[in-house]
Structure 1
Amino acid sequence: MSNEMMKNWNEYKPTKTVWLWSAVGAAGLTMIVGFTAGGWMTSSTAAERTQASTELAVATLAADICSNRFLAAADADAKLAALKETDSWKQDTFIEEGGWVTFANMEKPVDGAAELCASRLMAASPSATDSGA
């Protein structure tokens, strides 16, 4: 029976329609696997991810500058104590209103930086505000 199956397989000649639908099916399956498991994406998705990554990088840099400026200020201990007494959902507003994430020639604070800065400052100890640290 095995020989008969091999003979039938060798003699099989697919029609153009079968070839066409086989190619369409293979292309479709390749795209499905590529977009779901292969990491493929459209150009608009790539642009969105690039924009989000850029905004996060800018916010992270601004938060670093913010926390360093905050801790280097003359009244840093008092400001840090006031920040720690502020409700957690208002800490970013405290940082924004203090001007710590609004830089020269900017009208508005850097998006997302205040929350990152506040979380870094909450982890800081009062001794971190010493100018010798």
Structure 2
Amino acid sequence: MGVGAIVLLIVIFSAGWVVTSGSAQAKAEEMAEDAVLDRLAPICVVQFMQDPNKKERLKELKELDSWKRGDYVKERGWATMPGEKEPDSRVADECARRLMELKQ
């Protein structure tokens, strides 16, 4: 019976049927960060849209390598949220992704 219980526990944990408190906490934090990102990225896009040179800036952004786009967004200040002093890298990356979907 002891071997059967051990095998059962191995199967349950390896199949992901049991969620530990640590993994639940990590998932909750990830979901919270994603929710914040979903709220802040549109603000970044709005700040981009207020740029008087937005057509030129969008063209420049689209010409960049994908890994440079978030930095470009940060440098322009679009990923710096109102009341904050520094831009957020995750917001900048998501904002750049959303800006790439805009038509020129």
Bin for the TM-score computed over the shorter chain:
0.7 to 0.9
- Correspondence for 1:115: 93
Cα distance change on mapping 1:27 and 1:111 into 2, 3 Å: farther
Query: Does the CA-based 8 Å contact 1:56-1:112 persist in structure 2?
Result: no
- Correspondence for 2:66: 88
Cα distance change on mapping 1:31 and 1:54 into 2, 3 Å: same
How many residues align? The count is: 104
Cα shift at 1:93: 0.4
TM-score (norm 2): 0.81
Which residue of 59, 84, 104 corresponds with 1:106? 84
Equivalent residue runs for 1:6-25 within 5 Å? 22=1, 24-25=2-3
Task: State the AA in 2 paired with 1:55.
Answer: E
Which residue of 26, 30, 35 corresponds with 1:57? 35
Cα distance change on mapping 1:69 and 1:45 into 2, 3 Å: same
Cα shift at 1:34: 2.0
TM-score (norm 1): 0.66
Post-superposition Cα deviations, 1:55-87, rounded to whole Å, max 9, x if no partner, equal 222223222221232124332112212212333
User: What CA RMSD, in Å, does the superposition of the two structures yield over aligned residues?
Assistant: 2.0
Structure 1 spans left out of the alignment, 5+ residues: 1-21, 127-133
Task: State the AA in 1 paired with 2:77.
Answer: G
- Correspondence for 1:17: none
Give the distance between the partners of 2:61 and 2:79, measured in 1 at CA.
Answer: 15
Task: State the AA in 1 paired with 2:83.
Answer: N
- Correspondence for 1:45: 23
Query: Does the CA-based 8 Å contact 1:59-1:111 persist in structure 2?
Result: no
- Correspondence for 1:27: 5
Query: Does the CA-based 8 Å contact 1:91-1:118 persist in structure 2?
Result: yes
Query: Does the CA-based 8 Å contact 1:62-1:110 persist in structure 2?
Result: no
